Structure 1
Amino acid sequence: MQILDFTHNPMLVFASLLVAMMAGFTGLSLTKGLSDRPIAQRKILIVLASIALGGGIWSMHFVAMLGLQLPILFYYDAAITLISALVAILVVGCALLILHFWKRTRGTLVLSGVIVGLGVVAMHYLGMSAMELCQALYTPAGITLAIIASCGLNVAAFAIAYGKRSQRNIIVGTLFFGFAVFAVHFVAIGGTSFVAVDVRSEVGPLISNEVMAIGVVLSSFVLCGAFLLTGVTVLAPSGKPPAPVPVPAPEQPPAPLAPHGAQQIPYEHEGRTAFIDSGAVVAIRAEGHYTYLYTATDKLFCVWSISEAEKRLAPGPFIRTHRSYLINPSHVSGFKRLKDNGVCHFETTNLAKVPVSRSRLKDVRDALGV
């Protein structure tokens, strides 16, 4: 077999780098502030970010492949090409789920970066296997170097972008992510040789370079649109600042409700962790592995589980009324007995009543004096 000579179109090489950068910025920006959102919204935004990042990995690869100039005509297998795109999106989605639903630690950042790094490599070699009438030959050293470069650069990208969720870190993380996808492709290509083959082994219909160009242009156009919309949202000055979360003023702390005084409870707001005195919290409700804090006017997201909240706030004013609720009896405005259970009523904006289970009924009535 004769090894084919190949070159690259410099303009398309540069375009592939821009596509990777735009995808990185769009995906990482969409995930900013997810900790403050309900779980359903978080899942939707993670799906969108996965499509942006995974689709960007795929688009970058095939923009660069359009710039690959070989002395023979070759095609792409449509089924394998589609699978390579889905693999990239799925792998990125798994990494984002870990980052936004697990406790974020150095270990989870490294794990997420390695998952995406391996996904980028898998997408690259799957995309290369879609070539028909032309076969790519790899060297063990080239594959190993591509894996090391991909995992290392993606770990750095996620460590920077998620180490501190500021706009500056997202931009720097974008540069690392874009360069990671770009570098892995050309590191892998550097360890690849091409030979012409006569046998076709297609799984699905064939795609010519012209049809592939149309698909890549369309996907890149969508990425550009998402990039512009995200950039405008991020960079546009807000006409009115968001209303601050009410926190008791330092000069007027709430009256101690326990022998040790009011404790501080952490909550997530605009990408940072803030604190509120336990005395200002009306009730705590479980939401999966996390909780929501209810005050007189607000509903705040807390990374504690309901069991952790009960443990950390004991001894204190809170009592368990139900497997999903802790309440502060001093804020209860009414109580109603319902056969073998009950209901506590509150005069708050986001929480009108809390159920009391049969096993907790006596403790609640004793605390309320009824």
Structure 2
Amino acid sequence: MAMHHNLYLVALSVIVAIQASYVGLYLALRISSAFALNRRLLIAASAITLAVGIWGMHFIGMLSMGMATEVDYLVLPTLLSFLLCVLVTGIAIFLASLRSPHLLAIAAGVMGLGITIMHYVGMIALNSSARMTYDPAYVVVSFVIAVTASGLALWLAFSADRRPPLFLCATFLGCAVSGMHYTAMEGTTFDFSLAAQSASTSFISSDTLAVIVSVVAFAISGIFMLTLVPKRPEGNRNSAGLKAGDDNADDFNDIGFDDTVAARPVDATTNALMDGVSANLLPIEKNGNRFHIAASEVISVHANAHYTYVFNGRDDLFCTLSITEIFERLPKPTFYRTHRSYIVNLAHVGQVKKSGDAAVAELDSPVRRTVPISRARVADLRQELATHQARKHSGIA
């Protein structure tokens, strides 16, 4: 069958893919600095947003085709293609968020494979209406497009030394989805000779259905953006132990970091712990068990509202102390307070990279993570890192 497309719906499908890619990547970039439940929510939201956009792009792309007869889409393959897309996209985003070059390459392959599998599983939904054959060359080319463009988008977003505008990264990912779909469709032949001729039973036109799908995709993205991206906190933004104005008030508000810390009084239990252990040990909790961690095992510390978490390179461990109390216990100058809500171990800072008007420190740990640096402290941190390296090479540290 010679195919022709509704160009307006083709354009709409590409817009849906780019928009979902933008929101999905926007949320994914916050995964490495999120903790506990918020981290899992960001992974899920990013995966669902991307999956809805990818699936929506393919569905609108199918609706843009002019078919020789009425087509019935089977529900089970259609739903299965969406669920596979959510699963595979979630895995790819999680791997990319770890910011490891090797894992990033795997993430690109997983993402491209997921997009391709989702497409061909979704095509099974047409089996009752048409017999389809695929040109192997187009199958291979569509897969290569999906992997290459996905890899470029993920690399630009997560690993490039100077990340370009996020819209450009999203455009590459949206083009990966769209390019894969339309290339695969070019190599698909439909045979409707065995299809039963039946009157249309659809109460919604293809154009209307495409608009509904796109509105749903935009709505889901908007909901996740409104609920998971924090806004600038109001009121007093100064935390205990920091001078007013030490950090810029708008640091990292544009990239979603929460820099509000509420210093908590030390209760009797904490006082007892402090009396019984050395100053370089921190009381932590994991799976309901309480124990202590040595300062040498601490890679970073993050205060999130009223809670403090100690990162040991693999896990985020809850600590009963405020971030100010923790900073007083940790040995200097090995530990540096990059931000009112963050402390890093200078021995585990891989590199400092510019991010907007400020910067982030990439941690050298089994689970890759970035830590925000207050704009006013970027130069000072670079100097501290240089001094730390000099002390290390001289054998002092």
- For normalisation by structure 2, the TM-score amounts to 0.58
Distance 1:83 1:234, change over 3 A: closer
Alpha carbons of structure 1 residues 37 and 207: separation in structure 2 relative to 1, 3 Å: farther
Selected match of 1:299 from 293, 296, 308: 308
SS at match of 2:194: coil
Partner residue in 2 for 1:5: 2
Deviation at residue 189 of structure 1 after TM alignment: 1.1
- AA aligned opposite 1:99: A
1:138-177 mapped onto 2 (5 Å cutoff):
138-163=134-159, 168-177=164-173
- The equivalent residue for 1:309 is none
Trace 1:243-282 onto structure 2 (pairs within 5 A). 243=237
1:290-320 deviations in whole A, cap 9, x for unaligned? 976379x9735636248xxxxxxxxxxxxxx
Question: Could you say if the C-alpha distance between residues 244 and 27 of structure 1 is closer, same or farther in structure 2, counting changes exceeding 3 Å?
Answer: farther
Tell me the distance in 1 between the aligned counterparts of 2:236 and 2:203: 49
1:222 aligns with 2:230: no
Distance 1:237 1:96, change over 3 A: closer
User: 2:58 maps to what in 1?
Assistant: 61
> Aligned AA for 2:301?
L
Per the alignment, residue 48 of structure 1 pairs with 45
Task: Find the counterpart in structure 1 of residue 34 from structure 2.
Answer: 37
Q: How does 1:1-150 map to 2 (within 5 A)?
A: 4-100=1-97, 103-131=98-126, 132-150=128-146
Q: Which runs of 5+ in 1 are unaligned?
A: 201-205, 250-269, 273-278, 307-326, 333-348, 350-370
1:150 and 1:302 mapped to 2: Cα distance? 35
Aligned-residue offset at 1:40: 1.7
User: Residue in 1 aligned with 2:333?
Assistant: none
Change (3 A) 1:286 1:157: farther
Q: Could you tell which deviates more after superposition, 238-247 or 163-172?
A: 238-247
Larger radius of gyration: 1
Q: 1:169 to 1:294 in 2, by over 3 A?
A: closer
2:175 aligned to which of 165, 172, 179: 179
CA–CA distance in structure 1, aligned partners of residues 120 and 69 of structure 2:
20
State the SS of the aligned residue for 2:108. helix
Specify the SS of the correspondent of 2:73.
strand
| Residue range with higher mean Cα deviation, 15-24 or 169-178 | 169-178
Q: How big is the shift at 1:283? A: 2.3
- Secondary structure at the aligned position of 2:68 is classed as coil
Superposed CA offset, 1:47-98 (max 9, x none): 1111110111110001011110022222111111111111111110111232
SS of equivalent residue, structure 1 residue 29: helix
User: CA deviation digits over 1:15-34, x for unaligned, max 9?
Assistant: 00011011101111122322
User: Quick one: structure 1 residues 142 and 54, their matched pair in 2 at CA, closer, same or farther if it must change by over 3 Å?
Assistant: same
Deviation string, structure 1 residues 191-222 (Cα, Å, up to 9, x no partner): 1111114268xxxxx99594876665444223
- Give me the whole-angstrom Cα distance separating, in 1, the residues matched to 2:157 and 2:201: 37
Give the whole-Å Cα distance in 2 for the aligned partners of 1:187 and 1:144: 10
Aligned residues: 280
Structure 2 equivalent of residue 194 of structure 1: 190
Q: Partners of 1:162 and 1:72 in 2: how far apart?
A: 45
Match of 2:352 in 1: none
Unaligned residue ranges in structure 2 (runs of 5+): 244-254, 258-277, 288-296, 316-324, 331-340, 342-397
Q: Is the 8 A contact 1:35 1:301 kept in 2?
A: no
Check conservation: 1:283, 1:294, Cα contact below 8 A: no
Equivalent residues of 2:68, 2:192 under 8 A apart: no
Q: CA deviation at 1:224?
A: 1.4
CA distance in 1, matches of 2:96, 2:232: 28
Instruction: Give the stretch that moved more between structures: 216-225 or 28-37.
Output: 216-225
- The one-letter amino acid paired with 1:302 is F
1-structure distance, mates of 2:282, 2:100: 28
SS state of the match for residue 8, structure 1? coil
Deviation string, structure 1 residues 305-343 (Cα, Å, up to 9, x no partner): 48xxxxxxxxxxxxxxxxxxxx989849xxxxxxxxxxx
Asked if the contact 2:72/2:129 (under 8 Å) is kept, the reply is yes
SS of residue paired to 1:72: coil
How big is the shift at 1:242? 9.7
CA contact (8 A) 2:45 2:224 kept: no
Task: State the one-letter code of the partner of 1:304.
Answer: G
Amino acid in the other structure paired with 1:134: A
8 Å CA contact 1:143–1:188 kept in 2: the answer is: yes
**Conserved? CA contact 1:133–1:197, under 8 Å:** no
Read off the aligned partner of 2:64 and give its amino acid letter.
G
In 1, distance between residues paired with 2:44 and 2:236? 26
Question: Is the contact made by 1:136 and 1:193 (CA closer than 8 Å) also made in structure 2?
Answer: yes
TM-score, normalised to structure 1's length? 0.62
